[in-house]
Amino acid sequence: MPAIVIVGAQWGDEGKGKIVDIYTEHADMVVRFGGGPNAGHTLVVGNDKLVVRLVPSGILRAETMCVLAQGMVIDPRSLVTELDELERRGIHTKGRLLVSDRAHVILPYHVLVDGLREKGKDAIGTTKRGVGPCYEDKVARRGIPLGAFRDPKRLRELVARALSDWTPIIQHLGGGEVPVPSVDETLAAIEEARGRIVPMLVDSQALVERTVRAKKRVVLEGAQGTLLDVDHGTYPFVTSSTPTAGGACVGAGIGPTRIDEVVGLVKAYTTRVGGGPFPTELHDDVGERIRKIGAEFGSVTGRPRRTGWLDLPALRYAVRVNGLDALAITKLDVLTGLDEVKVCVAYETKNGRSEDVPMDELDTVKPVYQSFPGWKEQLGAARAMADLPKAARTYLEFVEKQAECPYILVSVGPARDETIVLRDPFAL
Ligand code: GDP
Ligand code: IMO
Ligand code: MG
């Protein structure tokens, strides 16, 4: 009974919410192992749409235990807002949503700093949710684990210490005109949320590891995507954590030998939100059409997502960095109606053609495209490969071969059933 890791193979928003929701129908536990409220994972059931940021995408399955593991950074106010929204929709979380006492707390000063930096010349287009500054605190060993919520005196000391380090930075970034929040204000802002979160705190590492050891079905849900990884992404235009598969082990606290399968999610084209290189970006009507038909607007910030063709060197890179066993390809339906569909097979670089990703010069490479005939048929009703038009199959087959990784699933619409399932992920 396997532990499956699901990661984004591009720059995020590949459809992780939908696929994790499908997988967790038969899962005992779903674990978010990294990131924070920068994520926005969309779940569609019937006419209902729910976007979760911190809560794992297994939450709609009443029998599934949901865990926010210690690799995450958690804004207490965002978490309770999300819990209230779930409750309002009749989705009960009591007793089945547990939070690591070693995940780190995002406090108002992290959000403030993130926002101030984004006003400056070094802005990279973050989600301004305080995620980067919170991870900075963790690595600088002045962060605040959620466990401190159990001890208000310790919490106050930790906040005072971190704030004394942030104060000169806030003064500098704000030109002396932005008030620095006091310790009292900071604590007051989270007091109500603190009381509600304490009963949910657990040693998530022990819990997850025990569940995996008991051979239960565990889904480790990634956030963001491979090219946003702080080590392996388009640095510095990245998030401050490890969304790649290795991050699942670190963030959840289980060893690599406990993982049975790693599934990578890839859109049938590419999107990116925020700044940074994007070799296959389209600035024309086709890009606009993909944005419109694919509803490519940030689920957290509402920002229009940049759109472009699928990038095979980047996909092969993601297959290698994550050690992917299988690919789930999403949003194939969005390409319906185009006369031709292009895919980047290599880059022209200043040193010649490259089929790898020259990360250091990604902003200057030129994509080399191969073109495929488009198709006109709507794909939402397809439940088997044979239901797809020949042109769509030809495109898929080419991508699979070039990616050197087999498909496990093809998604042809946002709803649960708009999916071609090629193999049961748990039947390992
Ligand atoms: P995530 O961050 O990876 O979970 O992805 P998001 O939820 O931010 O963005 C993916 C969007 O695409 C959501 O609006 C989904 O409902 C939608 N979606 C997922 N799969 C498909 C698909 O196969 N076709 C279409 N048209 N939409 C999809
Ligand atoms: P999901 O899980 C897409 C991007 C931001 C920005 C960079 C750094 O929904 O796929 P941050 O706020 O993390 O410091 O921003 O990372 N980014 C995402 N882009 N999907 C996400 O999450 C993202 N999370 C962060 O746009 O470029
Ligand atoms: Mg998203």
Residues 23 and 48 occupy one common structural domain: yes
Residues 131 and 185 occupy one common structural domain: yes
Q: Is 28 in the pocket of ligand 1 (CB under 6 A)?
A: no
Q: Which ligand is nearest to the CA of 303?
A: 2
Atom of ligand 2 nearest to the CA of 228: 16
Query: Is 394 inside a domain boundary?
Result: yes
Residues 379 and 251 occupy one common structural domain: yes
Query: Is 427 inside a domain boundary?
Result: no
| Calpha distance 6→353 (Å, rounded) | 32
| Calpha distance 424→333 (Å, rounded) | 22
Ligand 2 centroid, distance to 208 Cα (angstroms): 26
pLDDT at 425: 80
Residues 288 and 143 occupy one common structural domain: no
Look up the domain containing 186 and give its range: 104-199
Query: Is 99 inside a domain boundary?
Result: no
pLDDT at 267: 98
Among 163, 180, 199, residue at a domain's last position: 199
Per the structure, the count of domains in the chain is: 2
Query: Is 428 inside a domain boundary?
Result: no
Query: Is 341 inside a domain boundary?
Result: yes
pLDDT at 361: 94
CB contact burial 409-420 (16+ within 10 A = b; e otherwise): bbbbbbebebbb
Helix (H) or strand (E) holding 136: helix 131-139
pLDDT at 190: 98
pLDDT at 1: 57
Query: Is 60 inside a domain boundary?
Result: yes
- Pairing state between β 104-105 and 73-74: parallel
What CATH code is carried by the domain that includes residue 267?
3.40.440.10
Closest residue by Cα to residue 307 from 294, 316, 318, 320: 294
Which residue's entry shows tokens 């396997």?
2
Among 153, 179, 199, residue at a domain's last position: 199
Among 145, 179, 199, residue at a domain's last position: 199
Closest residue by Cα to residue 369 from 312, 316, 327: 312
Query: Is 426 inside a domain boundary?
Result: no
Residues 230 and 329 occupy one common structural domain: yes
What CATH code is carried by the domain that includes residue 162?
1.10.300.10
| Calpha distance 13→304 (Å, rounded) | 12
Active-site residue flag, 417: no
Residues 176 and 148 occupy one common structural domain: yes
Residues 288 and 188 occupy one common structural domain: no
Residues of the chain with pLDDT under 70: 1, 428
Active-site residue flag, 41: yes
Q: Is 411 in the pocket of ligand 1 (CB under 6 A)?
A: yes
pLDDT at 133: 98
Catalytic residue selected from 13, 75, 137, 229: 13
Residues 281 and 149 occupy one common structural domain: no
Residues 296 and 387 occupy one common structural domain: yes
pLDDT at 426: 80
Residues 240 and 148 occupy one common structural domain: no
pLDDT at 410: 98
Residues 180 and 207 occupy one common structural domain: no
Question: Tokens at residue 375, please?
Answer: 């198709």
Question: What's the full length of the chain, in residues?
Answer: 428
Query: Is 360 inside a domain boundary?
Result: yes
Report the DSSP beta bridge partners of residue 104.
73, 145
pLDDT in tens, 187-245: 999 999 999 999 999 999 999 999 999 999 999 999 999 999 999 999 999 999 999 99
- Output the residue whose Cα is nearest ligand 1's atom 20: 414
Q: Is 143 in the pocket of ligand 1 (CB under 6 A)?
A: no
Residue 97 CB-half CA count within 13 A: 23
Catalytic residue selected from 21, 41, 229, 325: 41
- Output the residue whose Cα is nearest ligand 1's atom 6: 13
Residues 193 and 77 occupy one common structural domain: no
pLDDT in tens, 416-425: 999 999 998 8
